Amino acid sequence: MEVARDVGAAICEETGKKVSLKDPDLTVYLELLSKEVYYAIEKVQGPGGMPVGVSGKVACLISGGIDSPVAAYRMMKRGCRALFVHFSGRPLVSRASEEKVRELVQLLTIHQYTSTLYVIPFGEIQRDIVANAPAPFRVVLYRRVMIRIAQELAKREHCWGLVTGDSLGQVASQTPENLTVIEEAAVLPLLRPLIGMDKVEITDQAQQIGSFAISIEPDQDCCSLFTPPHPSTKTRLDDIQKVERMFDIGALVKQGLEKAELTEFTFPQ
């Protein structure tokens, strides 16, 4: 209080202003250390949240689009360390989506200093599903197999939950019915930090964290590969389980796990 009084008196003397506690023209903030004093005339709001790691580890499915990097960031902000899992359309498409995802993971690594990314070549699994499943159910089948593969990786890495960039009603796979059917394939908790956000809110946060410019670069994403013109939006669990009995789901999951490619990231790069 003595320092504040002395500094305040000096400012008043230099400026000719009077002290106003209710509506000041200028507020000076002081931080007193053992040998130094820091001052500021403006406070900038930081990201807030909790230190990364205090809330355990989660596996984030990251597509290269706008939503999933924001979902991962929001979980990191709540203290979770993020493991990243990307499903590529390779070998049926180029590595464009993988390069984007590597850029995004490197960007997000700023917030946790080290990151692990698993890339799963998913094209051949999708081709098997297309050859044997009714077209309206393909998207939900893709997602259920992805969840199972990501879950096995999450267990290996001691993650307690899975994270997706789902936003309610945004696309066919994100209707209430399809979200419910997709979640049934998971044993670990399935976290959806963007579920109540619209595209404008998600895009705003993507721009704030710097991921938006990377996410909008063109690529060939596996989610759009073999997408039917009229996917089911109200899939019933009984129907999808009946279709899954046509496949050796365990073999598809094993195939994805065996071909998983691991990359480590650090900050600074």
Give me the pLDDT at residue 227, please.
Answer: 77
Give me the pLDDT at residue 39, please.
Answer: 93
Give me the pLDDT at residue 138, please.
Answer: 93
Q: Which residues of the chain have pLDDT under 70?
A: 220-226
All structural domains of the chain, each given as residue ranges with its CATH number in brackets, are: 2-40 (no CATH), 57-266 (3.40.50.620)
Q: How far is 135 from 242, CA to CA, in rounded Å?
A: 14
Positive or negative torsion for Cα 44, 49, 50, 51: negative
Give me the pLDDT at residue 222, please.
Answer: 59
Give me the pLDDT at residue 98, please.
Answer: 92
| Identity of residue 180 | T
Name the β-bridge partners of 32.
Answer: 37
Give me the pLDDT at residue 154, please.
Answer: 98
Which residues are within 8 A (CB) of 156 and not within 5 positions of it... i.e. 6 or more apart? none
Q: List, as one string, the DSSP characters of 159-179.
A: -SEEE----TTSSGGGSHHHH
The residue assigned the tokens 């895009």 is 203
Q: How far is 75 from 79, CA to CA, in rounded Å?
A: 7
Residue 142 in tokens: 């893709």
Give me the long-range contacts of 37-42 (CB less than 8 A, separation at least 24). 37/3, 39/7
For the whole model, what pTM was predicted? 0.86
Give me the pLDDT at residue 224, please.
Answer: 62
Give me the pLDDT at residue 225, please.
Answer: 61
Beta strands in 68-150 (DSSP E): 81-88, 114-121
User: Do β-strands 37-40 and 57-61 pair in parallel, antiparallel, or remain unpaired?
Assistant: unpaired
Give me the pLDDT at residue 88, please.
Answer: 93
Element holding 116 (H helix, E strand): strand 114-121
User: Do β-strands 37-40 and 29-32 pair in parallel, antiparallel, or remain unpaired?
Assistant: antiparallel
- Helix (H/G/I), strand (E/B), else coil: 78: strand
Give me the pLDDT at residue 241, please.
Answer: 96
